[in-house]
Amino acid sequence: MSQPDPQNVSAYLSFEQVLEQFGDLIQDPERLSEGMEVRELLRQMPTRIEAGTEWFFLPKPWLDVWERWCYVDVVTCPLDDASIDIRRVERKNPSKITFSSLFCAHEDNQIMEQQLKFKWQNWQIKDGLREGVDFVFVTKVVLTRLLDNYGSTDSEPLLNFKRVGVEQDDGEVVCEVKLRKINFVAVPNKTRFKMRQPWFFFVPKSDSVAELEKKACRLLNYYLYSILKDKTLILHKCRLWRMPSTLIENVGAADKKFISFTHAEIEAFPIFGNEQQLRLKVDDLNFVDEDLFLLETQKDGKYVFSQKDGNSEESKSQIAA
């Protein structure tokens, strides 16, 4: 993880030195004081990510403008480099912080996570953005300090625009920048959920299959309650089946089977099983963004679907090596 550290120089000017040497340049000493304070907060950020710690997106172009506005470039200017003319630098107020420009716009068929601790999972970063170029990760202390002074054009930035440190299988702890997209249709669709197109949500790839099931069930309840305005049913269980994009045409057939039978085989791969399988990570599942998941609810307290014979060997390959 890269950090927005100052230039790697052997010495920095103190507050008094800056005022003494560049008094004609420093139009607002309070901005200089802010720059030096936040620069010190940046310097104190941990150099390693710990599991469970929160790291917050900050647009790098905004940070660059802020550094010039608060004279950070003056503070970090190498004392022996005459080629740098800091008096020619344009200094303008960075204005409010806009985070949403880093993220994909929400779509009409996206189910939004409502729980406060998971709201950041509603925001998928745009493709092609680079840490250290387009954004940096900062601590809550740093971002809170900047938000207090400049505000944001987006609502609830401390809840929405962050990532959490997770430990990988090899012991390394990272921030998962990119989330996984889960497209789904719930059954029975024709008689209850009435989805005219697949809906989707995002999930960290470090989540377990058990956590994925819980989230899918919770969001499906939100869909019933808030979108369909159906308050007659609360779902407590559901199962996930992965249907490759090549088999999407079978969704309608599976829905008809659910409505008509108490037991039926379908051409799909189960994403559930024993305790060991439920502990698998989303990243262990072999799927692409175009694949579709069936969310199977219970019928009269029981599940209807089983895997069609002939797919059992292939289903074993759904767990990535």
Q: Domain holding 36: CATH number?
A: 3.30.2230.10
Whether 164 and 53 map to the same domain: the answer is: yes
Whether 34 and 146 map to the same domain: the answer is: yes
Domain final position from 126, 154, 175: 175
Sorted by sequence, the CB contacts under 8 Å of residue 67 that are 6+ apart come out as 35, 73
The enclosing domain of 238 has a CATH number of 3.10.20
Whether 257 and 311 map to the same domain: the answer is: yes
Tell me if 75 sits within 8 A of 35, measured CB to CB.
Answer: yes
Domain membership of residue 106 (yes or no) is: yes
Q: What is the pLDDT at residue 21?
A: 82
- Compute the chain's Rg from CA coordinates: 25
Strand-by-strand arrangement of the 239-243 sheet: 199-203, 180-187, 292-296, 239-243, 269-270
Candidate from 50-64, 95-109, 301-315 with smallest mean pLDDT: 301-315
Q: What is the pLDDT at residue 313?
A: 39
What is the rounded average pLDDT of the residues 110-117? 95
Tell me if 279 sits within 8 A of 253, measured CB to CB.
Answer: no
Domain membership of residue 321 (yes or no) is: no
Q: What is the pLDDT at residue 317?
A: 36
Domain membership of residue 152 (yes or no) is: yes
Domain membership of residue 7 (yes or no) is: no
Whether 167 and 279 map to the same domain: the answer is: no
Task: Please give the C-alpha separations between residue 166 and each of 50, 51, 105, 207, 231, in angstroms, as whole numbers.
Answer: 8, 5, 25, 10, 36
For residue 6, is pLDDT > 90? no
Sorted by sequence, the CB contacts under 8 Å of residue 60 that are 6+ apart come out as 4, 132, 133, 134, 135, 136
Task: Please give the C-alpha separations between residue 229 and each of 29, 149, 173, 225, 236, in angstroms, as whole numbers.
Answer: 56, 41, 41, 5, 18
CA distance 140 to 55: 7
Domain count, the chain: 2
Domain membership of residue 6 (yes or no) is: no
Sign of CA dihedral 278, 282, 284, 290: positive
Residue 19's pLDDT band (cuts 50, 70, 90): confident
Task: Look at residues 209, 235, 241 and name the one whose alpha carbon lies nearest to residue 305.
Answer: 241
Residue 83's pLDDT band (cuts 50, 70, 90): low
CA distance 56 to 143: 7
Whether 170 and 107 map to the same domain: the answer is: yes
Residue 137's pLDDT band (cuts 50, 70, 90): very high
Domain membership of residue 86 (yes or no) is: yes
Whether 92 and 192 map to the same domain: the answer is: no
To 5 degrees, how large is the angle CA 254–CA 300–CA 193?
50
What is the rounded average pLDDT of the residues 279-291? 89
For residue 84, is pLDDT > 90? no
Domain final position from 175, 199, 218: 175
Whether 163 and 291 map to the same domain: the answer is: no
Domain membership of residue 148 (yes or no) is: yes
Whether 267 and 146 map to the same domain: the answer is: no
> Is 208 in a helix, a strand, or coil?
strand
Q: Give, rounded to a whole angstrom, the gap between the first and last alpha carbons of the chain.
A: 27
For residue 134, is pLDDT > 50? yes
Whether 139 and 242 map to the same domain: the answer is: no
Structural domain of 205:
180-315
What is the rounded average pLDDT of the residues 208-221? 95
Sorted by sequence, the CB contacts under 8 Å of residue 289 that are 6+ apart come out as 180, 181, 183
Domain membership of residue 5 (yes or no) is: no
CA distance 192 to 295: 13
Whether 119 and 251 map to the same domain: the answer is: no
Domain final position from 145, 175, 205: 175
Tell me how far apart the 2 most distant CA atoms of the chain are, in Å: 85
> Which residue(s) pair with 174 in the sheet?
166
Whether 252 and 293 map to the same domain: the answer is: yes
Whether 226 and 267 map to the same domain: the answer is: yes
